[in-house]
Amino acid sequence: QQQVKQSPQSLIVQKGGISIINCAYENTAFDYFPWYQQFPGKGPALLIAIRPDVSEKKEGRFTISFNKSAKQFSLHIMDSQPGDSATYFCAAISGSARQLTFGSGTQLTVLP
Amino acid sequence: GAGVSQSPSNKVTEKGKDVELRCDPISGHTALYWYRQSLGQGLEFLIYFQGNSAPDKSGLPSDRFSAERTGGSVSTLTIQRTQQEDSAVYLCASSFTSGGYEQFFGPGTRLTVL
């Protein structure tokens, strides 16, 4: 059973544009929602994370929006740059389970 | 400081052989995790260590898979009698506390079973 659904599978954005990736979860026990960025041949790198008591968190060009009632969260990348081209994974964790449950990933391409 | 390191970076083996994959977590991190990344299954959890004990082995796909951690630091993932479906990237992560909320990943070991 896929507990975190991620869309779109791939995304192409022009340089300077806004990239938006969406995730939805089912398990209400999840209490921490990180986003990871992965470049080819590298491990996932923690990008930004949010807890469900906050509706938005911003770090530089990256913003997470969180809708607890809808069980949805999204990553917005403002002023997207070619260097942002990577695969992005949303994830969720509950303190009791300890394990990260990942979405299926979004391959982002930012055109110069 | 140094991040999570894994070795080897690549491993090619023949079907039926045993392999050992190593993970060195970030110094001071008490929790360690193994994940597997494959095209068909995405990123999936295998096992979690708190110190040297493994309270959660629920993700290990079969009894051919085992892992241990010694001295609260280095961990080894062992796959016995490898099968072609074991081909994947095996990722290790560590976190400072057992809550595991901030998990930092290593570069992975790409395993190819011929």
Question: Is pLDDT of B100 > 70?
Answer: no
Q: Which residues of B touch A86 (CB under 8 A)?
A: none
- Residue A97: predicted pLDDT: 67
Q: Which residues of B touch A30 (CB under 8 A)?
A: none
Residue B60 binned pLDDT confidence (cut-offs 50, 70, 90): very high
Share of chain B above pLDDT 90, in %: 75
Beta strands in chain B (DSSP E): 5-7, 10-13, 19-24, 31-38, 42-50, 53-56, 65-69, 75-79, 88-95, 104-105, 109-113
Residue B24 binned pLDDT confidence (cut-offs 50, 70, 90): very high
pLDDT tens per residue across span B1-22: 589 999 999 999 999 999 999 9
- B35 contacts chain A (CB < 8 A): yes
In angstroms, what CA-CA distances link B11 with B19, B94, B109? 8, 22, 7
CA B70 to chain A, closest CA, distance in angstroms equals: 20
CA A16 to chain B, closest CA, distance in angstroms equals: 29
**CB within 8 A of A64, min separation 6: which ones?**
A33, A35, A48, A49, A50, A56, A57, A58, A73, A74, A75, A76
Instruction: List all residues of chain B from 77 to 96 with a beta carbon under 8 Å from chain A.
Output: 91, 93
Q: What is the 3-state secondary structure (H, E, C) of A1-55?
A: CCCEEEECCEEEEECCCCEEEEEEECCCCCCEEEEEEECCCCCCEEEEEECCCCC
What are the phi and psi torsion angles at B35 (to 5°)? Answer: -130, 160
Cβ–Cβ of B98/A93 closer than 8 Å? no
Cβ–Cβ of A49/B101 closer than 8 Å? yes
- A98 contacts chain B (CB < 8 A): yes
